[in-house]
Structure 1
């Protein structure tokens, strides 16, 4: 079994460019300008163009775990992400920001927990 994540978006090309740069993914395929598959190391993120915009909170989202939280948030903002939470959240021993991709899909950027 293989798992593929699919994300709806209105602006297929812009959203694909964002996620390709954000996650250093390769374009694995494109179908009729409606789907773009991005992947690397066995993980595939498929972007699916839909006519309707996002209106409610995602039921599932990506968590990006990074070593330098503020540096990564800044890099993602330069790529077109926007902050949903202006200040970092802290709970359960974790620190993170909620961001949205250029199409409004939320995702979290969190400090990688230290290994002990």
Structure 2
């Protein structure tokens, strides 16, 4: 039996404050805030090449490490690390070498982990 492949991937991030995270992630990714209808705020890539990021406001707080996270691949650690920390991210670990790729683990303003990775194919 052949199953149909999904037509579109949307990344959903639970949060406490959609407005704050929408500002952070739209600026971090260069995305646009395209629609807001409680409990959701959608952020989309203006070029349409990357998945939508959907912020979902939930009542429970974040607990523990994210099981899935966002990786941002960049050509150089600086100035991107400085730009993201100026937007409100905080460094959790690094920079360190991860299988030949310089990596820094950060957290967004609500503590959701994401990685900044210098990757040859960025």
Q: TM-score, normalised by structure 2?
A: 0.87
What is the distance in 1 between the residues matched to 2:98 and 2:43? 32
Q: Which position in structure 2 is the counterpart of 1:4?
A: 10
- The alignment status of 1:76 with 2:84, answered yes or no, reads yes
Cα distance in 2 for residues equivalent to 1:52 and 1:73: 29
The unaligned stretches of length 5 or more in structure 1 are none
Give the alignment's TM-score, normalised by structure 1. 0.91
Q: Deviations over 1:26-79 (max 9, x none)?
A: 1121113x1100011142000001112211100101110111202111100000
- Structure 2 residue runs without a partner (length 5+): 1-6
> What residue number does 1:24 align with?
30
State the distance in 1 between where 2:121 and 2:37 align: 41
> Once the 2 structures are TM-superposed, how far is the Cα of residue 91 of structure 1 from its aligned partner?
2.4
Number of aligned residue pairs: 113
